[in-house]
Structure 1
């Protein structure tokens, strides 16, 4: 089954459609409305977040159609009444969507997505937008910490076996946006053009009568540039055998267990002594940003990251919410609305945003204008871009552009943003106007 052709209309919560039914019956469904997707706070201890999944959102919006199969299910399950089913049959989003583009950074109360249309058009998109952006942005926010900690050494995404099969593809995409160089997931390579890589696991070594036999088979098939896994039995003996089999032009060795820092020092010394000075050392084994940072002084040439990455390194969601912030009043004018509960409040009104920068281009604040755009003092950068205009997708771009944008946005941050210690958001969010 080709997931790219499936309707996304049922990737939603039941109450989205019961709200729609009640609004249609009450005559308020067609009021002009503005919805906003934002996070009230960053995950605890994080200095900034990364927006990822925008391209996936646009793909999902284009497939948000209530076809005969979807309508049949809703009718059989009696989710909504016949009048609502009739309205859904012709559903096409005809409004505008603005958003932070792929790879951009976000902070508390950043208006990551702004949806303008009727209440009916916008309310049914809530769950879909939140599920994609909460997941992908959480992965990218973890990935950027890892690529910062790696100090320029390449990181490879290897988490497919630790998450849902479709989540694995999305994780690879989000990690690539945030600086990972490659993925082990072939579907991510096919779907998004992300470089893929991989050689062998311990089972391949255990299949053979000896480690030498396994190394010989791999080198004969994949060439001397391959990466040999050297910790199945004895690392020192494996390194010696690897160089004997592949020669001093062996591409790399991989360490997947043990105390990786001292072990990498030992392996580097042994490889150099054997003349394999250009053979790289790749490390895996439950790495996260802190473990990567601890290996900064070790002779490591690359990192393979799995479980921690695909679970957001302890924060598997961003906590994004989707709220109505403005709607049409009885006189036709737009009225700001907001939830006022003590710990889950929000700011009403249509938002605009820019990143305030000093004369040297260093970010100083996230400035959110309520009701009108904030004033650019000459060094600032506008954040919201058009994604959908009058129902048509206008914001699709190559994944490489999002990746480059991320590097550019990250380079704007003050130096303390790259510290792995827990802390507050590296720049404040300021609301103006309203």
Structure 2
């Protein structure tokens, strides 16, 4: 283990070797990485542990500098473990460079079937037993991390002291189709709210889309094929607290005058490339619909199929008439595996995962109904990424869970709200509120 310091905290790197398949403990092993964070003044204290599970899928744990966001509040009383979930960050990363070592698409898909929340929870239990001496710990799950925490309550509640979730209460039984049929109306509301805030962006978005439609796709600096559909996918920015403002500033810088007339600016295209690329988190695309898969049904590109039910997202129709162009949200589409050079080698693997039907169940409603682990969840009203109705139905199905429903924050409230969100959840599980 290596320890080092940042302002106010001591950090320690941990590495663990765990089975790829926990049902075959003597089989292939993979390596996990996690970073311990403790307040400098409490580095030698006997503190309870808090495990942080990042959103995603496909994102490594956030790299904080010192006591940023909620981490300062957490280190007042916890020793925090920031886990890079398997396949992310420094935990045996899975991407276009590493996956070919597994073999062809079929072998890659079989390998990645072990990278959902059920395996992440078993990894967490393996680590807990090593770090805490068997004592239960607190889990803080953001977004997909909350999905993992809900599975944790179903599968291994004995390992949990308390559970805190932010923007991450999943439906216990919704299919991927159900998730996206509920998602598009929320996305539409976010787009309409953005245009109400920045009405000048209606014309700007149309002008950009018309330019792409007339002149054909643009190859971005990173090799990404930028089409009208790809432009619409920038709407995923609208799910964060500052996302609408960031999208506005991105659009206002789209065109510059050039010898042949106005053209898309290098600055705009560079920022779009960074925003759209999956190079840093390919599992987000490859496994995104698989996080909802259970019950013997394929996901089969559910977001793409559901989109056809909502004609306001049809760019060609909008450009042919007077309707505003609607952006899309947290959706993964087959065309992205052609457009993004980080995903192109994984297209066949993604197709096999989309067709897979043998996904095990992720949640145990009967066990959740008798839950004894103190649990609290921040439910962000009209969250673009997680359906509020689904979350509240799940909250009612988990005994003792105390939901905090708020429209003060968007999906990234635990980061944007810093210590306030974590403090509120801790107060709820402790009966102080």
Larger Rg: 1
* Greater RCO (CA < 8 Å, at least 6 residues apart): 1
- Of Structure 1 and Structure 2, the greater helix share is in 2
The two structures have a TM-score, normalised by structure 2, of 0.23
